[in-house]
Structures are given as C-alpha cells and as structure tokens.
C-alpha cells in the first residue's frame, strides 16, 4: 500500500527562495502555456525569480505572508502567498496572491491544505474575507469553485501586448470555513 504523502505547511524563509522560484517557473510554464504569450514563459528565469523571492522573504515587517508545502523526501512542492486586498473596489479584505503546486504533486490535497492555511493567516490578521484573481481560461478556477469560492467579478487586463480576461473568486466569511471544518488537513 502507498504511504500517504507527508506534507508540512510552514512559513517560507529566505532560504526557500530558490525552491519557491523553481516551483513558480515550472508551474507558470505548465499552467499558462497557451494562455499567455510563449515569449513570456520562455524568458522566465528561475535565477531572477529566486532573487525576487529572496528579497520579498527577507523584507522586515513584510505585509504579505508566504507559506510553503514541504513534502518529506521531495522538499518544497508548492507555495502560496496572501495579504491585504490590493484593490478597495471589492469589499473583500484579504487576497490570495499566488498559489502553485508542482504538476506532478497536484490532486493530492496540497493545494487545499495551502489555501486553508493561507485563509487561517488572513483571519488571524483580522482579514475575514478574501478574493483571488485567476485567468478566466485557467482550469484552476474550478479548484476555487470546489473550495467554495463564488465568482464575484471579471476584468480584462492589458498585459504583455495582449488582453487577458480574469475572473475573481470570493469568500465572504472565512470564519465560516473554519467553523465548518472544511479543511480536512487541520
Ligand atoms: C490550482 C492548484 C493550486 C490546485 O492544487 P492541487 O494540490 O492540485 O489541489 P487539491 O489536490 O488540493 O484539490 C482539492 C480538490 O479540488 C479538486 N481540483 C483540483 N484542481 C482542480 C481543477 N483544476 N478542476 C476541478 N477540480 C479541481 C480536486 O480534485 C480535489 O477535489 P476533492 O476534494 O473532491 O478531492 C494546482 O492545480 C496548481 O498549482 N495549478 C497550476 C497553477 C495555477 O493555476 N495556480 C492558480 C493561480 S491563480
């Protein structure tokens, strides 16, 4: 019988920057091929990303929180970040900025575990509602629907010389998720 994966969700540190960058670049190339220009994906560099993540994780009093999924024997296979919502146009106080799980480790409950721990972090900071923006053509939107997110807004953003339709999913009261015990990993 297969042993279940042992995943530890923990705060990311500057020492994790290279591993986070690897997950980031691999996830972008796998998830966004055909959705954003190829040139953007080809140009991506794990080294440049590692530098950016290292700076972000080293910042003192940083506002965003970054969590990593550390899998026994494999290291960091996913990560996510969250903080106060970047726009005040929607009533949701918190925002999930990133959430990525390596393709070969998807569909094992790691994305859900990360998302609910990010939600916990938002609640602990008094941010009781959350949104996430996702490319409208990204199948990941079905994951957010499965996690109880409600489609609340749409927009078209001009990026990299192309127009990218995006959809926002919202959770109006994160505390309900906690009391309903929707996270089987908690
Ligand atoms: C979206 C993502 C984070 C989900 O992570 P994951 O570890 O594969 O998800 P989980 O295994 O925790 O899935 C939890 C549930 O959602 C379902 N689910 C996951 N991805 C799904 C999808 N694309 N469509 C429909 N359901 C999905 C799972 O089947 C599972 O259902 P269950 O509760 O019935 O078992 C991951 O697929 C990913 O990193 N995708 C590529 C990057 C990306 O697009 N990130 C989002 C940027 S906004």
**Residue 182 pLDDT > 80, yes or no?**
no
What is the position in ligand 1's atom list of the atom closest to the CA of 135?
48
Q: What is the pLDDT of residues 20-37, one digit of tens each?
A: 999 999 999 999 999 999
Atom of ligand 1 nearest to the CA of 146: 16
Q: Write the pLDDT tens digit of every residue in 109-133.
A: 999 999 999 999 999 999 999 999 9
185 pLDDT higher than 60:
no
Closest CA to 131 of 183, 173, 159: 173
pLDDT of residue 184: 40
pLDDT at 178: 78
Distance (Å) from CA 77 to ligand 1 centroid: 14
At 68 the pLDDT is 98
Burial grade of 66 (CB within 10 A; 0-12, 13-18, 19 or more): buried
pLDDT at 1 exceeding the cut of 70: no
Statement: residue 166 has pLDDT above 70: yes
Ligand 1 atom 21 nearest Cα: 143
Residue 64: the pLDDT is 85
Confidence band, pLDDT 50/70/90 cuts, at residue 3: low
Q: How far is the CA of 106 from the centre of ligand 1 (A)?
A: 7
State whether residue 37 is helix, strand or coil.
Answer: coil
Ligand 1 atom 4, closest CA: 111
CA atoms within 13 A on the CB side of 80: 24
pTM, two decimals, is 0.94
CATH number attached to the domain at 7-180 = 3.40.630.30
Edge-to-edge strand ranges of the sheet holding 75-84 = 7-11, 65-71, 75-84, 94-101, 130-135, 162-171, 150-159
Q: Residue 27 C-alpha to ligand 1 middle, in angstroms? A: 12
Distance 158 CA to ligand 1 centre (A): 26
- Percent share of the chain, pLDDT over 70: 94
Nearest CA to ligand 1 atom 8: 106
What is the distance between the terminal CA atoms of the chain, rounded to a whole angstrom? 24
Q: What is the DSSP string of 105-169?
A: G-SSSHHHHHHHHHHHHHHHTT---EEEEEETT-THHHHHHHTT-EEEEEEEEEETTEEEEEEEE
Which protein residues are within 6 Å of ligand 1, measured from CB?
27, 31, 99-101, 106-112, 132, 134, 138-140, 142-143, 146
Give the number of the atom of ligand 1 that is nearest the alpha carbon of residue 80: 3
Q: What average pLDDT does the structure give for the chain? A: 93
**What average pLDDT does this structure show over 42-70?**
93
**Helix, strand or coil for residue 44?**
coil
Q: Strand 130-135 vs strand 94-101: parallel, antiparallel, or unpaired? A: parallel
């Amino acid at each position: 019988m297969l042993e279940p994966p042992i995943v530890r969700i923990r705060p990311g540190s500057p020492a994790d920057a290279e591993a986070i960058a690897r997950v980031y670049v691999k996830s972008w190339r796998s998830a966004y091929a055909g959705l954003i220009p190829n040139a953007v994906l080809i140009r991506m560099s794990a080294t440049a990303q590692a530098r950016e993540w290292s700076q972000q994780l080293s910042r003192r009093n940083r506002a965003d929180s970054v969590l990593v999924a550390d899998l026994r024997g494999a290291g960091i296979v996913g990560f996510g970040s969250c903080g106060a919502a970047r726009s005040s146009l929607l009533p949701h106080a918190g925002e999930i900025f990133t959430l990525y799980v390596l393709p070969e480790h998807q569909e094992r409950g790691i994305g859900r575990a990360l998302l609910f721990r990010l939600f916990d972090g938002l609640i602990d900071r008094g941010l009781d509602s959350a949104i996430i923006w996702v490319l409208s053509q990204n199948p990941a939107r079905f994951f957010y629907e499965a996690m109880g997110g409600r489609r609340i807004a749409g927009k078209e953003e001009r990026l990299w010389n192309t127009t990218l339709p995006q959809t926002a999913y919202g959770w109006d009261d994160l505390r309900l998720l906690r009391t309903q015990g929707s996270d089987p990993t908690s």
